[in-house]
Amino acid sequence: MARALAQRGHRVTMACGRFEGASTGLQSPFRQGRREGLVHGIRVVEFNIAYRNAMGLGAR
């Protein structure tokens, strides 16, 4: 959905936490707890906060 919106000319920003089992496409190091860049026309802001679906509600 985000990619389709970007292809139609919308400015799209996606925020996410760090996940060891996946790649956001960002290669730069984290600075002050975050990194950002463009991936397929989408601005991605990745925070250096561990996250995974198996985490309980309190940990999320």
CA distance 1 to 7: 10
Which whole-number Å values give the CA distances from 16 to 8, 9, 13, 20, in the listed order?
23, 22, 10, 12
Query: Model-level pTM greater than 0.85?
Result: no
pLDDT digits (tens, 9 = 90+) for 1-58: 999 999 999 999 999 988 777 788 999 999 999 999 999 999 999 999 877 778 777 7
Label the pairing between strands 34-39 and 13-18: unpaired
CB-based contact 38:9 (threshold 8 Å) = no
